[in-house]
Amino acid sequence: MAWTLSTSLDEFRTQAGGFLAAHPAENTVLLSVADRLATDGPAAYGEEPPRFGWWRPGADGPVTGAYLQTPPYHPRLGLMPAVAAAALAGAFVAAGDLGAGPGRALDGVGGGKDAVREFAAAWCAATGRRSAVQVDERLHRLAELVPPSPAPPGLSRTARVAERELLIGWFEDFGAEVAVDFHTSPDAVDRRIADGTLHVWEDGGRPVAVAGRSPVVAGMSRIGPVFTPPGLRGRGYAGAVTAAASAYALAQGAAEVLLYTDLANPTSNSIYRRLGYRPVEDCLAVTFHG
């Protein structure tokens, strides 16, 4: 039983691509990040090379676990057995760079709850550090889309270049509100405007909410971020723009439409349930300190 660690996206996709595609919900982040790296290059998320890994239970066995990291963001664990999650912590220590790059200690990890807990326990035992839950999330899958009825006033459309500064501000506000790593740079907004994956709800001629949508990869598309400015909340805009982005993903051929919610936010969780989203798995992001 062993992990293979690599900085080659091509090798990762060759070795682990079939496994990722066979479990698109649990591997949604890995699939979408790998797709972005393939499209925009290894510096899509930062200057340091991305890191990848895949787990085989035996030398000739199939891949049954995978992770990736795009520094400076934390590693993201995909679907994997508990023994693989614990072994990954040991593999990071054995690699000699503590999993985060030369001279830096790993300060967080995210993924399915069971895998993150196993990794964190092994990591803390090996390094003497302590872990703390950063955010408790739940991954949801769209069962059958139920658009809001009645819908709020307005309409959905894709974001426009003229709204760039507004959307950059919204991304920054969203990033400040959530407790997980989120790519909030102006470049991220520019890219998503250009590729048509930001959906805006417009009311009275002005944008009032936004929902992102990932490209369809392995039959999967993920919704996020969803953001309504504080002064415009409680009017149904978030549900409406999420429904519109979800419908677009379905029209683009997505068999799986997914999204994450923060379990500490009962309002958003109830909105997505009404739209037809159902739980897949609970997830954690943890930080390491001490």
The pLDDT tens digits of the residues spanning 163-208 come to 999 999 999 999 888 866 667 788 889 999 999 999 999 999 999 9
Which range has the worst mean pLDDT, 146-155, 262-271, 273-282? 262-271
| Residue 105: predicted pLDDT | 73
| Residue 55: predicted pLDDT | 98
Query: Does 212 score more than 70 pLDDT?
Result: yes
Residues 6+ apart with CB under 8 A from 41: none
Query: Does 99 score more than 80 pLDDT?
Result: no
The pLDDT tens digits of the residues spanning 32-62 come to 999 999 999 999 998 999 999 999 998 889 9
Of the pLDDT bands very low, low, confident and very high (cuts 50, 70, 90), residue 117 is very high
| Residue 218: predicted pLDDT | 97
| Residue 177: predicted pLDDT | 86
- Provide the percentage of residues in the chain whose pLDDT is more than 90: 85
The pLDDT tens digits of the residues spanning 128-172 come to 999 999 999 999 999 999 999 999 999 999 999 999 999 999 999
Residues 6+ apart with CB under 8 A from 67: 30, 52, 53, 75, 76, 77, 78, 80, 88, 111
Instruction: Return the higher-pLDDT residue of 96 and 252.
Output: 252
- State the average pLDDT for the chain: 93
Distance from C-alpha of 194 to C-alpha of 189, rounded to nearest angstrom: 9
Name the CA dihedral angle for 52, 57, 58, 62, rounded to a multiple of 10 degrees: -70
Residues 6+ apart with CB under 8 A from 189: 164, 167, 168, 171, 198
Burial (Cβ within 10 Å: 0-12, 13-18, ≥19) of residue 256? middle
234-246 average pLDDT score: 97
| Residue 179: predicted pLDDT | 67
**Six-digit token string for 10:** 């091509």
The pLDDT tens digits of the residues spanning 63-75 come to 999 999 999 899 9
Q: Could you give phi then psi for residue 139, rounded to 5 degrees?
A: -90, 135
What's the CA angle centered on 81, arms 79 and 87, to 5 degrees? Answer: 110
What's the CA angle centered on 166, arms 47 and 175, to 5 degrees? Answer: 50
Query: Does 89 score more than 50 pLDDT?
Result: yes
